[in-house]
Structure 1
Amino acid sequence: MRLNFTCTHGRSERGKGCHGQRPKPKGKIVTLIVAMCMTGVVASLMFEGGTNTEAFLF
């Protein structure tokens, strides 16, 4: 998940296109892995960066 959300779609009048640029993402990427059961959250793990096999099996 990125911590700096940017809209990827815009609105315009009917029949007209919406044109423009959006800022490039400059924020950190954070991964959140959560284990849940019927009673709620059992465990959670949050770390900076993307998920790979090594991080997921931690």
Structure 2
Amino acid sequence: MQQARVEFWQMITQVEAKDLVFIDEAGVNLAMARLYARALQGHRAYSHRPQNRGKNQTIIGALTLDGIIAALTFEGGTDGRAFQTFVQQVLVPNLWKGACVVMDNFSSHKVDGIAQAIEAVGAKLVYLSLLNHFRKSKFSQKC
């Protein structure tokens, strides 16, 4: 695992920052509500919350030094088909020769056709190592 991280950093430092494209996804349920609240002493804490559960919403985006170059939102979670749609129909038209697309090492990111679509425009695909040291150090730091 340590060797994979070393290889990743050796490769990524050879890429110009302007050519890096980072892909990530996030999800939210529109009916999420806080379960706990605070109020001044002697006052009741209250809030409004949706009656219905709602559906999960997902956003997948691609970010460069110049900002967001591709984004897709949809109902439901990210699966291979949804990610493939994002890459082929939304991301690839915005890529350029020499771009380096960096994404998580998830199974839904390795569906047939994703790597081929990215490489067809002359871009390179790189997966993050399984335990990226940035995440590990970010969560282990004391505030």
* Bin for the TM-score computed over the shorter chain: 0.5 to 0.7
Hey, what does 1:32 align to over in structure 2? 59
Identity %: 38
Residue 77 of structure 2 corresponds to: 50
Q: Which has the higher strand share?
A: 1
Q: Which has the larger radius of gyration?
A: 2
1:7 alignment partner in structure 2: 34
RMSD: 2.4
Higher relative contact order (CA 8 A, sep 6+): 1
**Structure 1 residue 45: deviation in Å?**
0.5
* TM-score of the superposed pair, with normalisation by structure 1: 0.64
Q: Return the alpha-carbon distance in structure 2 between the equivalents of residues 32 and 6 of structure 1.
A: 20
The gaps in structure 2 that reach 5 residues or longer are: 1-27, 39-51, 86-143
What letter is aligned with 1:5? Answer: M
Residue 54 of structure 1: SS of its match in structure 2?
A: helix
* Structure 1: gaps of 5 or more residues: 12-24
Could you list the structure 1 runs, at least 4 aligned residues long, displaced by more than 2 angstroms after superposition: 8-11
CA distance in 2, matches of 1:26, 1:4: 5
Cα deviations by residue, 1:9-28 (Å, 9 ceiling, x for unpaired): 556xxxxxxxxxxxxx7011
Q: Which structure features the higher share of helix residues?
A: 2
Q: TM-score, normalised by structure 2?
A: 0.29
